[in-house]
Amino acid sequence: MSDAPDRAWTRRVRAVASLGTALSFTAPAWIGALALFVYDLATLAPDVTAYDSPELATAAVQLGLSHPIGQPLHTLIGALFVRLLPFAPLTALGVCSATFHALTVVPVAAIAERLTPLDRRSMVGASVQVTSIVVLLACVPIWECATRVEVYTLSCFGVAWSFAWASRLDGPRITTKDAAILGAALGLTASVNAYHAVLAALALAPAAIRALRDRRVPIASVGALVVAGLLALTPYAYVLAVGARTDVLVWGAPVDGDSLRAYFGGADYARNRGTPLAAMLDHAIAWLAWSVPSGVLVQLVIGAAGHALLGRDAPIGRVAASLLALATVTLLCSHAVFHVDIVDYQNYLAPALAVCAAGSSALVVRAWRERPAVAVLVFSVCAAASLLPHPSIISRTRARDHALGLAVRGALDEAPEGSFFVVGDDHWVAPLLYVQEVEGHRRDVVILATGLSSSSWYWDHLARRHPELEPFALRGPGGRSGRLRRRLDASPDRAVFVEDADAAAELGLTPCDVGFLVRVAPCTVSLDTEGDTEALARALDAIDVGSPASDGALADIAMDRGTTLWRMRRVREAVLAFDAGVPPSMGEPAFTDEDLDALRGVGALGGSQPWREDAALGDARRLLFLQGMAFAVAGRSSASETLRARAAALGLPEASPGLPDAAQER
């Protein structure tokens, strides 16, 4: 009798250590999780990064509201990390991402153990299993979102834990408690990323149907699952609670029926829906072409094969991993705006990659018992697919990434008081808003986000932030450009900055100087073009191509600055601006001071260059090509041919031999 309390205590400790997943070998899993956590911390982004990160950080720090449909659980958990950890907010939120990345090791190990049960004395097998999992979870699509502010590691953990819990429901009947816990797990995951929760539910549906058919699920258990799932969506009440706040950034200001419908309906993203089947097929081909060199396809195929071969008796069945991967790719390809180099689209694969990692590690352990040579081969292929694709594990430089922080703070610092920034790209808008609203840097500058210029809530937010602004007519002719121009015309004495010459032309303005951004009016103070170019070049030198999206953002900034300078007939400065966006790994500059001096007589750039391939951000190959064009016009054939050859070697279609010479066409 005296042993009973000890056994009960042991069971409770084991349940906590396994995070409720019934994992037998918890020590190796936690050691692996710690190793992954330390690696993430060593490569954590120290500053603002591209895409949604700064916006999500702003919401967590201010307890405001991010883009639809809110991601409320991430905001609330992130707010706790910011307030409990003695770090700068971006670091604390990066630690949040890294924490849930590391915790994912435990449920993935539980899924793998269910596929290949381990003898209680098989610590070696458990160690091999966890080592495989850690290696696979360090792949670029998951590591990338684990080292910056993002929702994906939290939702990935939720999906993996849901699969792990479902994997243990192999008794004769699924109790209401077990079903309720699974429903709550999916509901909480939906409070972070609704798409991931829906994808997980779809992938588990065949197993649920089979359990219903076998009468293992009583009606009460079905009801418990549904009710618990709905109750777990209560974090979305946060959207209602915060919608009326006016002292922080609240996307959409959802305070009544119409604004709530627009917010939860994702009205701001309506343009990214309704993709025709033909376009989806094109997207799928592009995705497959990317997935092979990125190693993603290898990881998904081997992992799905592991589930198919070993999951005959597993409650989640043989096809759950395959369905999760297929449904995820289908969702990505259904977007009207589709680029394989959008890191968010890669991050969306995190749950599928994690669940498939369980299948791959289970295959390795099964082979280790019977044919060690096969185990070594499978592990080697998986490790190569995870750690070697760009950026490889030895070339990840995110810990040195201050690129966008340098650009946005530099642009703010060189702007006169009360300037307007008319910006549209994510790598300008979100970082600028974070630096202004959270760090309090240059709050006098007015950020006119072109993508939000049709949203009345954003104009209301600007009016509260800048009550000194002169009133203007929000409604009028000219669409978005007309509205922005009316805003600028109402304050004619304020300096105006845009991203490039095309943005200036859209507003009917003319560039007069180039710093980090392009100044269009009034032009009474000169900007340090050369100094800004050198600063951007140093920022890129620090990261090269080891911090995904940042190198593309710098290439885009270099393109905007360079083409604007060329149109202003400042071709020498344009070529140097282009060169600042070319990573060091693409080679040293292929021109001399004499080549640069020959550019002084080159005329203004004509229309925009039509590119054959799309790019989500910038493409450094284009910068090489444009430099080659400039030297060709100046008669510096050696430099021109070298640069064009580099661009061709990197696969830029316009630089391929046999195509018309764009410089001659101009």
More confident residue, 360 or 216: 360
Question: Does residue 396 sit within a domain?
Answer: no
Task: Give yes or no: residues 323 and 263 share one domain.
Answer: yes
Q: Which pLDDT belongs to residue 12? A: 78
Q: Is the peptide bond before 653 cis (omega within 30 degrees of 0)?
A: no
Using alpha carbons, select from 326, 492, 396, 483 the residue that is nearest to residue 142: 396
Angle, to 10 degrees, between the axis of helix 350-370 and the axis of helix 194-213?
50
H-run or E-run covering 449: strand 446-449
Q: Which pLDDT belongs to residue 616? A: 84
* DSSP 8-state assignment for residue 616: S
Q: What are the structure tokens assigned to 300, written together?
A: 């998904």
What's this model's pTM, rounded to 2 decimal places?
0.94
Q: Which is it for the CA torsion 258, 259, 264, 266, positive or negative?
A: positive
Model confidence pLDDT, tens digit, residues 115-152: 998 876 688 889 999 999 999 999 999 999 999 999 99
Model confidence pLDDT, tens digit, residues 264-310: 987 766 665 668 889 999 999 999 999 999 999 999 999 999 999 99
Confirm if 64 and 10 have CB atoms less than 8 A apart.
Answer: no
Task: Give yes or no: residues 350 and 485 share one domain.
Answer: no
Q: Which is it for the CA torsion 145, 149, 150, 156, positive or negative?
A: positive
pLDDT band at 471; cut points 50, 70, 90: very high
Task: Give yes or no: residues 350 and 488 share one domain.
Answer: no
Confirm if 127 and 134 have CB atoms less than 8 A apart.
Answer: no
Question: Of 522, 555, 583, at which residue does a domain stop?
Answer: 522
Task: Give yes or no: residues 516 and 536 share one domain.
Answer: no
Q: Which pLDDT belongs to residue 271? A: 62
**pLDDT exceeds 60 at position 664:** no
Using alpha carbons, select from 35, 68, 31, 49 the residue that is nearest to residue 144: 49
3-class DSSP string for 473-523:
CCCCCCHHHHHHHHHHHCCCCCCEEECCHHHHHHCCCCCCEECCCEEEECC
**pLDDT exceeds 80 at position 97:** yes
Strands (E), 45-96: none
Question: Does residue 40 sit within a domain?
Answer: yes
Question: Does residue 23 sit within a domain?
Answer: yes
Task: Give yes or no: residues 277 and 416 share one domain.
Answer: no
Q: Which of 74-78, 120-124, 552-556 has the lowest mean pLDDT?
A: 120-124
How is the beta sheet containing 518-521 ordered, strand by strand? 446-449, 420-423, 496-498, 518-521, 513-514
Q: Which residues pair with 421 in a beta bridge?
A: 447, 497
Task: Give yes or no: residues 191 and 264 share one domain.
Answer: yes
Task: Give yes or no: residues 26 and 174 share one domain.
Answer: yes
Task: Give yes or no: residues 188 and 139 share one domain.
Answer: yes
Q: Which pLDDT belongs to residue 277? A: 87
Q: Which residues lie closer than 8 Å to 543 by C-beta, 6 or more apart?
A: 397, 398, 400, 401, 403, 550, 551
Q: Which residues lie closer than 8 Å to 263 by C-beta, 6 or more apart?
A: 68, 69, 70, 239, 251, 252, 254
Question: Does residue 434 sit within a domain?
Answer: no
pLDDT band at 4; cut points 50, 70, 90: low
Question: Of 501, 522, 543, at which residue does a domain stop?
Answer: 522
Q: How many domains does the chain have?
A: 3
DSSP helix, strand, coil percent of the chain (3-state; round to 5): 65, 5, 35
Task: Give yes or no: residues 412 and 359 share one domain.
Answer: no
Mean pLDDT, range 596-603, rounded to an integer: 90
| DSSP string covering 372-391 | HHHHHHHHHHHHHHHHSSSS
Angle, to 10 degrees, between the axis of helix 350-370 and the axis of helix 372-387?
160
The whole domain housing 120 covers 13-387
Question: Does residue 72 sit within a domain?
Answer: yes
**pLDDT exceeds 50 at position 490:** yes
Q: Report the DSSP pairing between strands 446-449 and 513-514.
A: unpaired
Phi-psi region of 51 (alpha: psi -120 to 50; beta: other; left: phi over 0): left
Task: Give yes or no: residues 124 and 241 share one domain.
Answer: yes
Q: What are the structure tokens assigned to 353, written together?
A: 């990659």
**pLDDT exceeds 90 at position 253:** yes
Q: Which of 120-124, 186-190, 475-479 has the highest mean pLDDT?
A: 186-190
**pLDDT exceeds 80 at position 521:** no
Using alpha carbons, select from 607, 622, 626 the residue that is nearest to residue 653: 622
d(CA 104, CA 354): 8
Task: Give yes or no: residues 135 and 273 share one domain.
Answer: yes
Task: Give yes or no: residues 27 and 74 share one domain.
Answer: yes
Q: Which residues lie closer than 8 Å to 523 by C-beta, 6 or more apart?
A: 512, 513
pLDDT band at 629; cut points 50, 70, 90: very high
Question: Of 522, 543, 576, at which residue does a domain stop?
Answer: 522
pLDDT band at 525; cut points 50, 70, 90: confident
d(CA 540, CA 545): 8
User: Can you tell me which residue has the tokens 């061709």?
Assistant: 648
Question: Does residue 392 sit within a domain?
Answer: no
Q: What are the structure tokens assigned to 351, written together?
A: 């749950």
Instruction: Give the mean pLDDT of the chain.
Output: 93
Q: What are the structure tokens assigned to 293, written together?
A: 């060199």
Q: Report the DSSP pairing between strands 446-449 and 420-423.
A: parallel
Question: Does residue 115 sit within a domain?
Answer: yes
Using alpha carbons, select from 456, 386, 444 the residue that is nearest to residue 415: 444
Question: Does residue 653 sit within a domain?
Answer: yes
